[in-house]
Amino acid sequence: MPNALALVVVLFFVLFCGKCYGELRVGFYEGKCGVTNVEGVVQNVVETWHFEKKEKDIAAALLRMQFHDCFVKGCDASILLDGLTSERKAVPNSSVRGFGLIDAIKEALEAECQGLVSCADIISMATRDAVVLAGGKWYDVETGRRDGDVSLASNVKLPAATISVSDSIKLFASKNLTQYDMVYLLGGHTVGIARCSLFKDRIYNFNKTGGPDPSMSPWLLAELKEKCPRISLIFDNTYPLDVKTPSLVDNSYFQEIKKGNGVLQIDQQIALDELTKNIVDDIVNDPDFYTKFGEAMVKLGRVEVLIDGQGEVRKSCRVVNKKPFIFGGLN
């Protein structure tokens, strides 16, 4: 009889675990907000910003936001917290965008089901929806994260554009991500841009040689020299990381780095390094890039998450919840 009872319990969790708490899973919010489809609310706000507010580059912004959040103390929405010394004040995060969109989504969800949906989950769901609007393929997002309450600029230690492939692999491995995941996630640069200051040394003084990076194609070198003059009296210009289809989530980024058209040093090196070049070759010839990119994004979303019993669900994504004051008494 005990064995039969155990079997019933197992079958319940297999069939209905999408409606249970306690771990990260697809469908975590199903049935928890009445008839409201939580993911549908997120999708509607993202689409409104994309079509009505003309935020056509929101995919690049949110891909960067999710990566920068997850690689610092895990996917806990700590990047969203305001404060004089918060992560948002760190130099690598100075150009992170999309905060207003996240606020709008949170406001819409709070109106439907107060205190239910975490800001960390909003980042993951909104990023997926923005990827789809930019030509990518739908992927199921696991939810059930909770929000962190610590956000310090001093904790922000993100990989530099000049990081070596081997060091990058080690860094991703520390987050339980493989070198395959790393290469696919760098594919997020298919809709990204970079400022000239991040790669100017590759144009004029690569490794202090006084000349350009020899791995750069002559075409790209000429392009970047025009966009990023050696001496500029104007602001720091930007250049797309995917020189072919900078507004679309596709595998053209990988096609271009194979031709020597990688703008950042790490982008170019993954196409040349023995540790990763075969992965890049496979992606160039793989019609199922979209599915595998989505799988890598799901794995990124699992990095050091807080789940049931940890963290909190913020009422506002910009501030931690006020802790109740407990009056003590004399024994």
Catalytically active residues are: 68
**Burial status of residue 52 (CB atoms within 10 A of its CB: 0-12, 13-18, 19 or more):** exposed
Q: In this structure, what token pair is assigned to residue 15?
A: 């069939």
Alpha helices in the chain (DSSP H): 2-16, 38-51, 58-70, 99-112, 119-133, 165-173, 179-186, 200-204, 218-227, 252-258, 265-270, 277-284, 289-300
Q: In this structure, what token pair is assigned to residue 171?
A: 């860094």
CA dihedral 22, 28, 34, 36 (to 10 degrees): 150
**Burial status of residue 67 (CB atoms within 10 A of its CB: 0-12, 13-18, 19 or more):** buried
Distance CA 132, CA 46 (A): 11
Distance CA 119, CA 316 (A): 8
Q: With residue 81 as reference, give the H or E element that holds it.
A: none
Distance CA 175, CA 74 (A): 9
Distance CA 165, CA 268 (A): 10
Return the sign of the alpha-carbon dihedral for residues 95, 224, 273, 59: positive
Q: In this structure, what token pair is assigned to residue 309?
A: 């019993």
> Would you call 319 helix, strand, or coil by DSSP?
strand
